Structure formats: structure tokens, C-alpha cells
Structure 1
Amino acid sequence: MSWDKPVKLHELGRGPVRLTLEPDAAERAAVAKRLGLKSLPSLSARVIVKPWLDGAEITGRFHAVVEQVCGVTLDPFEQSLEGEIEVRVVSAGSPHAASSDGGELELDPDAPDAPDVLETDAVDVAGYVVEHLALELDPFPRKPGATFDYQPPEEETSPFAALKKLTEPKP
């Protein structure tokens, strides 16, 4: 089972579409599995989809509670996450879509991102919520208060140390 909430571009002709998204338990379990989480106790988002050029602009916020496994203690722990959503999309063939002619690509880090190109005439709003949640996840989760105490071996055991012992004169 997957979680999706499509909004067709032609629906935006009547004005912005406001959505409150809250997946059910089975959908949250599918999202958790997809993102490599132990579980996803809660996820909610408030999103506005409005017309933008010949496509759409998706803006909003999400809030989630994720359960991950600590990379130090291997204990599961919950963490609250929230983030902003801001994406622009256009239909395939749009003059506003990023060029794919194979020419040089100029990147301006201060410029807004190029719009995503849709494969159909619908925007999967839930997909963008999950994408932005994934961007907020810590790839190396650490339970609050968990510390990694590494004690290096007292004796140096490099391959060169072994060679040095072989070349030392014997008493």
C-alpha cells in the first residue's frame, strides 16, 4: 500500500487547493518502510497547491514523529521533525521546464530550483511531503544523550610496526 494524494492541474483553474494530509496507520507503515524508519507514529501536513505559470506551486509545512535506531546504542528512539515544503511543477513539454538538450548547464546556487516536470497531468502532493520528510531525516541518527566512547589500542599495531620489529637487531 502506498500513500498518494493527486491534484490534477486543471483543478487549479478554480483557484488554490488547500489540503490537510494525514496518512492512516497502514500508509504511515508503508512510508516508514520506504524511508528505512523503524516506524512513523505520526505525520501531518498542511499544503496549498496554486497555479504557477503553466503548472503549479506547492507550499506548506509538515510535522512528523519518526522512530529511528540509534547508530551508537542501537536503541530505538522517537524524534519530532518538521519542515517547509516549497516546490514548483510544470507539465512535460512546458516551455518553463528545464532544458534537456544536452548542452551546458549553468548552476546558480542563489537561484530558485528549476520546476519539476510532471509525467502526468496530476501532482502527487503526498509524494512531495514524503520527499521533504526524507530530506529532514538524519542519516546517522543518535539518541539524545548517547555518546560514543572509543578507546584506541595502547600498542600501535600497524603493518609497518611489524616490519620494524623484523628489521631491529636482536640482542
Structure 2
Amino acid sequence: MTWSVIVKLHEVARGPVRLDLEPTAEQRAEIARTLKLQSLPVFKAQVTVKPWLDGAELAGRFDGMVEQICGITLEPFQQDIWGAIDLRVVPPGSPHATTTDGGEVELDPDGPDAPDVLESDAIDVAAYVVEHLALEIDPFPRKPGATFEYQAPEAETSPFAALKKLTDPKA
């Protein structure tokens, strides 16, 4: 993807980094294609990256508007979308990374998620913002006011029912 905003871990070690992110129209079009949207007319995010153990913590929110195809009427429609960003990342080889090499991993469903392990000392903040956008998109979009009215198919008459009508006029 062409939209990338990189923050290095050593930049975060000096103090929090506040970012106001807004992709260009071309970048929004690419994000829309990637997420299988009709379009992404508006998309903005505010993210703060601050030190956390030997890694970083990303916190913020995003707002935007997505255009999708209604699953009922098959017409395009736009809807507002927003969400929160809250995650932690650690560098490769960190002792705070969750390992799954043969051992059991205990997960607390009410606790925070395990930190993501980065491939290097660079954090692509834009990629995390797009990932959180993808999680908020309705996989079964429905245009406001669209209702699905089911009509049962007419019962087919079997050949035997048709023969019965010929032989028994009361049927």
C-alpha cells in the first residue's frame, strides 16, 4: 500500500509522538480497493505513539465515511465510520513478546491483547490505522431503511399431484 507513516522506536523513546493523519484522495482510493469498498470519501486519524516497556503504545481514534454496496438493494450508499486505536508493539527479540514456540500461551479475555512484534524498529502507524478501519467495516452492509421481504416460492406441483387432479376432481 502506498500510504505509509513510519515512526521509529528511538523517536518514541524521547517522548510521545502525536500524529494527525489524512491520506490523499489517491491513497484513499487505494485503501478502498484493498478493503473492497466502493470508495472512501473521508478518512482522518489522530494517533499518539508513546513509549511502552521496550516498545511503543499506539492510542487514538479515526473518523471517516465509507461507501459500500447494500446487500439487499445492491445500491451504493455512504455511512459514517469511526473507531478507537489501542495497541502495543515491541521490537523483534523482545522479552515482552508472546512466544508460541512449543509452550502454552494463556490468554486473558478481559485483559489487554498481547503486543505485536515488529519486523524492525519501524512502526507503520498508517497500516495499523487501516487495519482498525477494516475491523469496523460492516461485512453485511445494509442501506438505512432497506428491508428484506421474503416471498416463499409457489409450491411446485409434482407429476403425481397433476395425475391425481385428473383422476380425482375433488383434489
Alignment gaps of 5+ in structure 2 = none
- For 1:56 and 1:106, the matched residues in 2 are separated by 22
1:144 aligns with 2:140: no
Q: CA deviation at 1:102?
A: 2.2
TM-score calculated relative to the size of structure 2: 0.90
Against the structure 1 CA distance between its residues 152 and 48, is the aligned structure 2 distance closer, same or farther, given a 3 Å change threshold? Answer: same
Tell me which residue corresponds to 1:56: 56
Q: Which has the larger radius of gyration?
A: 2
- For 2:159 and 2:124, the matched residues in 1 are separated by 62
For 1:1-40, what aligned pairs fall within 5 Å after superposition?
2-40=2-40
Q: CA deviation at 1:153?
A: 1.7
Matched residues, percent identical? 64
Q: Which piece of structure 1 moves more, 116-125 or 105-114?
A: 105-114
Q: CA deviation at 1:162?
A: 5.7
- For 1:43 and 1:102, the matched residues in 2 are separated by 41
Against the structure 1 CA distance between its residues 162 and 40, is the aligned structure 2 distance closer, same or farther, given a 3 Å change threshold? Answer: same
**Counterpart code for 2:52:** W
- For 2:13 and 2:131, the matched residues in 1 are separated by 26
Query: Aligned Cα RMSD in Å?
Result: 1.9
- For 2:145 and 2:89, the matched residues in 1 are separated by 41
What SS class does the counterpart of residue 150 from structure 2 fall into?
Answer: coil
- For 2:60 and 2:90, the matched residues in 1 are separated by 18
Alignment gaps of 5+ in structure 1 = none
Tell me which residue corresponds to 1:116: 116
Q: Which piece of structure 1 moves more, 100-109 or 5-14?
A: 100-109
Q: CA deviation at 1:163?
A: 10
Tell me which residue corresponds to 2:131: 131
Instruction: Find runs of 4+ consecutive structure 1 residues off by over 4 angstroms.
Output: 161-165
**Counterpart code for 2:3:** W
Deviation readout 1:12-47 (Å, 9 max, x if unpaired): 122000000000001001100000000000100010
- For 1:25 and 1:121, the matched residues in 2 are separated by 29
- For 2:100 and 2:80, the matched residues in 1 are separated by 39
